[in-house]
Amino acid sequence: QKEVEQNSGPLSVPEGAIASLNCTYSDQGSQSFFWYRQYSGKSPELIMFIYSNGDKEDGRFTAQLNKASQYVSLLIRDSQPSDSATYLCAVTSGGYQKVTFGTGTKLQVIP
Amino acid sequence: EAGVTQFPSHSVIEKGQTVTLRCDPISGHDNLYWYRRVMGKEIKFLLHFVKESKQDESGMPNNRFLAERTGGTYSTLKVQPAELEDSGVYFCASSQEHYGYTFGSGTRLTVV
């Protein structure tokens, strides 16, 4: 079992719709959860992080965390073509901030 | 604020040669990480420096890989001798607290 699992996609949504990206993780001791966006040929860029159960909103982005289910998601409202990228879920465990990444979900926003 | 800088951006070397990758973290960031992404796979952790000390090097594939961080500033990752399976994108990242990394733009290594 992979430590961080994501559906590789592609996930296609029409412009203006809500994109829902999901991630599960295997280590119950995971403490911090991150979403990175990576455009093709570019480096990952942090867009959201969450530590506590519940929702965290930042602009059009909402991260949701459910530690009991070991599940974290990212919602993108009013999706734009510029949101088309690969979204990487990442988690940290332990005190030294080692981050484990999922393989990423490719999102395509169709104009 | 300057970001994390990596160079070279691309490197093509022959099997058996040596390559050295360099990373300059954001000034003041004690934590420096090396990651690698092989085609089609997830980004994999290689090692973590706190200042000049190796905190965790559990991800280093084998003893052909040597990482150093001189004086707690920039870091180098040397691959000697390089093998075909070492091809991939090598990312460096730095952080200060628990707010996620800032990644460099990566070095694309191709071993032929």
The pLDDT tens digits of the residues spanning A5-56 come to: 999 889 999 999 999 999 999 988 888 899 999 998 889 999 998 988 999 9
pLDDT at position A107 over 60: yes
Least confident of A3-7, A27-31, A101-105, B71-75: A27-31
All residues at 6 or more sequence positions from B63 whose CB lies less than 8 Å from its CB, including other chains: none
Residues of B in contact with A34 (CB under 8 A): 100
* % pLDDT > 70, chain B: 96
Residues of B in contact with A98 (CB under 8 A): 33, 45, 48, 56
How many residues are listed for chain B in this entry? 112
All residues at 6 or more sequence positions from B80 whose CB lies less than 8 Å from its CB, including other chains: B18, B19, B64, B66
Give residue ranges of B with CB < 8 Å to any A CB.
Answer: 31, 33, 35, 41-45, 48, 50, 55-56, 91, 95, 98-106
Residues of A in contact with B43 (CB under 8 A): 44, 88, 101
Put simply, the chain A residues between 52 and 91 with a CB less than 8 A from any chain B CB are 88, 90
3-state secondary structure at position B34: strand
DSSP string, A45-110: EEEEEE-SSEEEEETTEEEEEETTTTEEEEEESS--GGG-EEEEEEEEESTT--EEE---EEEEEE
Mean pLDDT of chain B: 92
Predicted pLDDT at B41: 85
Calpha distance B82→B86 (Å, rounded): 7
Calpha distance A76→A60 (Å, rounded): 6
Residue (of A24, A34, A31) closest to A95 by Cα position = A31
The pLDDT tens digits of the residues spanning A44-97 come to: 999 998 988 999 999 999 999 999 999 999 999 999 999 999 999 999 876 556
Mean pLDDT of B35-50: 90
Predicted pLDDT at B33: 94
